[in-house]
């Protein structure tokens, strides 16, 4: 399939209507990488989410795929990689978001004391 070979010199893309949303997602990914403007990134993100919601690229029986998460650099204790999996208590909750915290270098902690 073309999606699996994109960027590897694989088969040609073609112009079928079914491929249009995937082409758009690739364009959005390139646009995301090319801009530093937060407003533009928010616009790109909303459009990509809309495409994913309309096209439903994953279904309930699919598991073990990467979980996409965007966080600020200052948010700590967030796992580098996550897995999307349907299981009671799974999804992002299985990573215990209640343990995430923002870096606060001005706060005096026991670890910083001599």
Any idea where the domains of the chain sit in the sequence?
A: 1-57, 61-114
Tens of pLDDT along the chain (114 residues) come to 445 455 545 556 566 777 888 889 889 989 989 999 999 999 999 999 899 888 877 666 666 667 777 888 888 888 887 777 665 555 677 788 888 888 777 766 666 655
pLDDT in tens, 11-22: 565 667 778 888
DSSP state of 68: P
Prediction pTM value = 0.46
pLDDT in the model for residue 67: 72
Helix axis angle, 20-34 to 38-55, nearest 10°: 160
Separation CA 68–CA 48 (nearest Å):
12
Backbone dihedral angles phi then psi of residue 49, each to the nearest 5 degrees: -60, -40
């Amino acid at each position: 399939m073309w999606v699996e070979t994109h960027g590897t010199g694989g088969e040609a893309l073609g112009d079928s209507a079914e491929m249009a949303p995937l082409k758009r997602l690739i364009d959005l990914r390139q646009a995301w990488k090319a801009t530093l403007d937060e407003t533009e990134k928010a616009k790109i993100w909303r459009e990509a989410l809309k495409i994913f919601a309309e096209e439903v690229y994953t279904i309930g029986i699919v598991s073990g795929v990467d979980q996409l998460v965007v966080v600020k650099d200052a948010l700590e204790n967030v796992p580098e990689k996550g897995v999307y999996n349907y299981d009671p208590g799974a999804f992002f909750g299985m990573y215990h978001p209640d343990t995430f915290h923002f870096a606060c270098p001005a706060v005096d902690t026991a670890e910083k004391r001599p």
